């Protein structure tokens, strides 16, 4: 080592400072993206209008703004952009965690049957109207997602419990609940009900309200903080359970905790906006491409990239085919697939 | 004190894999675990590392049962290099070695000076300093094995458990690696296939056969032609040179048939 004691001791501090700087820049990028996304749409709103409305509502100013603009910004576009950001963060983080825990680069937040469970739950409420008024489509989706996850984990446990068993149980659960959803729609739904459920299944941020924002934000922020706290444990899983155990990780307990955490985050987001596809699969890979596989960097990077990505995809989906909005799940796939292909090509390995 | 196994018995998948084995390594010594495939070497190492729980008997670390200690406390004292640990992530060698610092960190522990020093020392010990920024999937089998050992060294353990660490290594790296292990100020338990390497580097050897420890002691006492014939089922001659260093020479042909009377199969070589 030629670096000497001084070089060794200052390097980690410098890196931490750089990390802090990058995170600050990322948060600023998210804020700017949200502000810019709000200006997009059929009704003309400028960045200045956005600033005025925000300052008014935060009680920092009292600037006269037209009521229409105030309503569009505060009641419609801002909650929608913030929910999109939360979905980007949450699904991205869940994907990163599951890819590490299950040692599978193809894992995404829906690999454990959560999205199909949610769809079954939503269909049961939407088509049969079971407990409809109390729960609503979202409540049904949340309950369905958690039930499906529980069933998948139970199945994995009963069959021995390794990572491959968890994935196989997830495949079985996904297929089962997809079939139940299709069956219910085929046998019982009329065309209006079908369209409503389908639109939501593709992922949609239509009609998102402030209570959705609060719910998503709280769940996602707490979830992200916990995942960041377990960053080292997630690193330890990269060579499998046995190495993780030899590095002092209580493998069974930590894995179950993180699986339940991803299930709660995903179920919450799916219940608000449907199964927005592809984000959870692609974003962790994009982040890994930029900052490497260590989770202390990967978790914040995925969160920030996810937020920016989803805000813009949602904004574009909203305005691209005016006046008909494109379901945001379609938008994420249309943008995400080419991005994914690019990453794969850039990362091409020499055999 | 340190790490000990007393009368441990372990069944895996209905089969008895470790049968009443007792192991009390001398602190600082290098212990060779010998025995044919399936004799229970890896299983015994898993029990010692605490990733397996014995059905009866106990494994203790400084007198405390492994099951009563947290995984983290065990990992601060005992490092394991298992076989076939592979990853598909694009991880760099330095980051693999950094994994070894995990048990020394807290919930939100950041990398500190001590971590960096331990990682640099582990890379240096294993000759990987100039390969620290290489990606895992570009390494040769031997380099991967050395990276795992560097990761275990970064853990700064008192006990090092290695499961056939010389697999996939050429002879020079086999010799380098085992002399590294013997030089380290730790107690090492090493599962080995090569009896000559065991004789060369181990202070003590334990021979396992179908889960039972059938012999233990210094290589000179344990590695006899009779024992090799009984446990491995092959004929061998064991020579000691003037400095007392053992060489095991193997001979073709089955054990029980006297020379010259093999009805089918090639006759055994004369020398």
pLDDT in tens, B162-197: 999 988 788 988 898 898 889 888 999 999 999 999
Whether B237 has a pLDDT exceeding 80, the answer reads: yes
Query: What's residue B31's pLDDT?
Result: 95
C-alpha to C-alpha distance for A82 and A213, rounded to whole angstroms: 7
Q: Which residue of B has its CA nearest to A232?
A: B102
Write the pLDDT tens digit of every residue in B26-69.
999 999 999 999 899 999 999 999 988 999 999 999 989 998 99
Which region among A177-181, A295-299, B139-143 has the lowest average model confidence (pLDDT)?
B139-143
> Distance of alpha carbon A54 from its chain centroid, rounded?
25
Write the pLDDT tens digit of every residue in A210-222.
999 999 999 999 9
DSSP secondary structure letters along A138-204: HHHHHHHHHHHHHHHHHHHHHTT--HHHHHHHHHHHHHHHHHHHHHHHHHH--HHHHHHHHHHHT--
- What is the value of ipTM here, to two decimals? 0.84
Q: Please, which residues 68-87 of chain B have a Cβ atom closer than 8 Å to chain A?
A: 70-76, 78-80, 82, 85-87
Most confident of the following: A82-96, A97-111, B98-112: A82-96
> Taking all residues of chain B, what is their mean pLDDT, rounded to a whole number?
87
**Angle subtended at Cα A286 by Cα A281 and Cα A288, rounded to the nearest 5 degrees:** 100
Substitution target in B46, B92, B99, B135 with the highest count of A β-carbons within 10 Å is B99
Q: Do B155 and A247 touch (CB under 8 A)?
A: yes
- Cβ-Cβ contacts under 8 Å, A294 against chain B: 95, 98
**Neighbour count for residue B257 (Cβ, 10 Å):** 14
Of A12, A246, A293, the CB nearest to B113: A12
Query: What's residue B109's pLDDT?
Result: 58
Query: What's residue A2's pLDDT?
Result: 40
C-alpha to C-alpha distance for B24 and B14, rounded to whole angstroms: 27
C-alpha to C-alpha distance for A125 and A134, rounded to whole angstroms: 10
Smallest CA–CA separation between A263 and chain B, in Å?
A: 22
- Cβ-Cβ contacts under 8 Å, B61 against chain A: none
Q: Say yes or no: A347 contacts chain B, CB-CB below 8 A.
A: yes
Domain spans, chain A: 26-346
Domains of chain B, with CATH numbers? 3-218 (3.40.50.300), 224-271 (no CATH)
Write the pLDDT tens digit of every residue in A259-275.
999 999 999 998 888 88
Whether A144 has a pLDDT exceeding 80, the answer reads: yes
The residues, ordered by sequence, that sit 6+ positions from A323 with a Cβ below 8 Å of its Cβ are A42
Q: Which residue of B has its CA nearest to A16?
A: B110
Query: What's residue A130's pLDDT?
Result: 63
CB–CB contacts below 8 A, A to B: 101
Write the pLDDT tens digit of every residue in A328-345.
888 888 887 887 787 777
C-alpha to C-alpha distance for B79 and A268, rounded to whole angstroms: 40
Q: Do A247 and B102 touch (CB under 8 A)?
A: yes
Query: What's residue A8's pLDDT?
Result: 46
Whether A3 has a pLDDT exceeding 80, the answer reads: no
Q: Are A38 and A50 in contact (CB under 8 A)?
A: yes
Q: Which run of H or of E encompasses B189?
A: strand B187-191
Query: What's residue B204's pLDDT?
Result: 94
**A17 pLDDT band (50/70/90 cuts)?**
confident
Helix%, strand%, coil% for chain B, nearest 5: 35, 25, 40
Smallest CA–CA separation between B89 and chain A, in Å?
A: 7
Q: Do B102 and A235 touch (CB under 8 A)?
A: yes
Query: What's residue A343's pLDDT?
Result: 73
Q: Which residue of B has its CA nearest to A7?
A: B113
- As a whole number, mean pLDDT of residues B86-111 equals 82
DSSP structural state of residue B217: E
Q: Say yes or no: B145 contacts chain A, CB-CB below 8 A.
A: no
Q: Say yes or no: A286 contacts chain B, CB-CB below 8 A.
A: no
Query: What's residue B1's pLDDT?
Result: 54
Smallest CA–CA separation between B131 and chain A, in Å?
A: 14
Query: What's residue A63's pLDDT?
Result: 85
Q: Do A248 and B103 touch (CB under 8 A)?
A: yes
Q: In percent, how much of chain A has pLDDT > 70?
A: 92
Whether A76 has a pLDDT exceeding 50, the answer reads: yes
Write the pLDDT tens digit of every residue in B239-264.
888 887 888 999 887 776 444 444 44
Query: Which CATH code for domain A26-346?
Result: 1.10.3470.10
A222: three-class secondary structure by DSSP: helix
Residue A161, classified by CB atoms within 10 Å of its CB into exposed (0-12), middle (13-18) or buried (19+), is middle
Q: Are B100 and B153 in contact (CB under 8 A)?
A: yes
Q: In percent, how much of chain B has pLDDT > 70?
A: 92
> Taking all residues of chain A, what is their mean pLDDT, rounded to a whole number?
85
Q: Say yes or no: B243 contacts chain A, CB-CB below 8 A.
A: no
């Amino acid at each position: 080592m030629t670096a000497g004691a001084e070089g060794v001791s200052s390097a980690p501090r410098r890196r931490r400072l750089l990390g802090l700087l990058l995170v600050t820049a990322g948060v600023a990028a998210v804020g700017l993206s949200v502000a810019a996304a709000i200006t997009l749409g059929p009704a003309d709103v400028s960045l200045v209008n956005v600033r005025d409305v925000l300052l008014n509502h935060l009680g920092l100013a009292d600037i006269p703004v037209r009521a229409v603009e105030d309503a569009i910004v505060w009641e419609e576009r801002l909650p929608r952009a913030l929910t999109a950001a939360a979905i980007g963060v949450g699904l991205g983080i869940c994907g990163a965690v599951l890819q590490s825990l299950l040692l599978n680069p193809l894992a995404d937040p829906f690999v454990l049957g959560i999205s199909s469970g949610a769809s079954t739950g939503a269909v049961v409420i939407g088509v049969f109207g079971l407990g409809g008024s109390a729960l609503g489509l979202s409540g049904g989706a949340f309950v369905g997602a958690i039930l499906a996850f529980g069933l998948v984990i139970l199945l994995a446990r009963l069959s021995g419990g390794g990572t491959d068993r968890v994935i196989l149980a997830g495949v079985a659960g996904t297929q089962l609940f997809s079939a139940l959803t299709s069956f219910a729609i085929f046998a019982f739904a009329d065309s209006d009900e079908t369209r409503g459920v389908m639109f939501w299944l593709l992922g949609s941020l239509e009609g998102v309200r402030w209570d959705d924002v609060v719910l998503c934000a709280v769940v996602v922020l707490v979830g992200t903080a916990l995942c960041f706290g377990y960053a080292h444990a997630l690193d330890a899983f990269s060579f499998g359970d046995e190495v993780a155990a030899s590095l002092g990780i209580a493998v069974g307990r930590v894995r179950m905790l993180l699986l339940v955490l991803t299930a709660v985050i995903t179920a919450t987001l799916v219940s608000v906006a449907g199964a927005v596809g592809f984000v959870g699969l692609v974003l962790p890979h994009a982040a890994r491409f930029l900052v490497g596989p260590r989770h202390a960097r990967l978790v914040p990077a995925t969160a920030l990239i996810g937020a920016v990505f989803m805000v813009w995809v949602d904004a574009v989906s909203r305005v691209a085919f005016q006046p008909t909005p494109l379901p945001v799940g379609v938008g994420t796939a249309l943008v995400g697939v080419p991005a994914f292909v690019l990453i794969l090509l850039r990362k091409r390995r020499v055999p | 004190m340190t790490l000990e196994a007393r009368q441990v018995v372990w069944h895996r998948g209905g089969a008895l894999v470790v049968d009443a084995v007792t192991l009390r390594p001398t602190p600082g010594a290098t212990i060779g675990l010998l025995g044919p495939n399936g004799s229970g070497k890896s299983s015994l190492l898993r029990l010692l590392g605490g990733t397996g729980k014995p059905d009866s008997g106990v494994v203790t670390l400084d007198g405390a049962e492994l099951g009563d200690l947290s995984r983290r406390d065990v990992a601060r004292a005992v490092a394991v290099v298992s076989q076939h640990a592979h990853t598909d992530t694009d991880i760099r060698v330095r980051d693999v070695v950094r994994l070894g610092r995990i048990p020394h960190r807290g919930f939100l522990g950041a990398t500190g000076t001590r971590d960096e020093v331990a990682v640099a020392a582990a890379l240096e010990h294993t000759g990987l300093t100039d390969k620290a920024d290489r990606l895992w999937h570009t390494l040769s089998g031997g380099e991967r094995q050395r990276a795992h050992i560097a990761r275990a060294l970064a853990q700064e353990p008192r006990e090092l458990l290695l499961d056939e660490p010389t697999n996939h290594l050429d002879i020079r790296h086999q010799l380098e690696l085992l002399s590294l292990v013997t030089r380290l100020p730790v107690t090492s338990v090493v599962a080995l296939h090569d009896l000559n390497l065991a004789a060369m580097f181990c202070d003590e050897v334990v021979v396992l056969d179908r889960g039972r420890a059938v012999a233990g002691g210094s290589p000179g006492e344990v590695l006899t032609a009779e024992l090799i014939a009984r446990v491995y089922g092959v004929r061998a001659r064991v020579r000691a040179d003037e400095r007392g260093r053992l060489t095991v020479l193997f001979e073709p042909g089955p054990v029980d048939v006297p020379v010259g009377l093999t009805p089918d199969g090639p006759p055994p070589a004369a020398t």
